[in-house]
Amino acid sequence: MVASGKKEDKGPDRDRRTVEEVGSVDIQAVCPDEPGRIATLVKAWAAEGLDLILTTGGTGLSPRDRTPEAIAPILDREVPGIMEAARAYGQERMPLASCPVVLRV
C-alpha cells in the first residue's frame, strides 16, 4: 500500500529523526515487499559504500512481508540487538503484537 502510494508511511520520518540524533541519512526509499527488488536496492546502496543500511517497515508477519528473507543472503553482518530493540519498542506500542495465535487446520 505504501510503496504504491495508496497509504502514507509515517515511519520513515520518525526513523530518520531517530538516526539523525547520532548520524546522517544519505539515502531513503520506499520499496515494495518483493525480495528481488529489495535485494537489488540494498546491493546498490552497499556498492555505493554506505557504512550502514537499515531496512524498516514491511507488512508484518504475513506472506507478503519478505524483507527478512530478501536481506538474509546478502548480509555481511547481522546485529541482533537492533531487532531486539525494535521488537521491544513495538511491544510497548502494541502490547498484543507478540501474543501467540492458534490456527486450526
- Kindly report whether the global pTM for this prediction surpasses the value 0.75: no
Residue type, 36: G
Instruction: Grade residue 4 by pLDDT with cuts at 50, 70 and 90.
Output: low
**Domains in the chain, please, with CATH?**
11-93 (3.40.980.10)
For residue 73, the 8-state DSSP code is G
Q: For residue 38, how many other CB atoms are within 10 A of its CB?
A: 21
- Identify the pLDDT of residue 64: 76
**pLDDT, tens only, 84-104:** 887 788 788 777 766 666 666
List Cβ<8 Å contacts ≥24 apart for 5-9.
9/57
- Identify the pLDDT of residue 44: 93
Cα-based distances in Å from 73 to 12, 27, 41, 82, 89 = 24, 22, 14, 18, 26
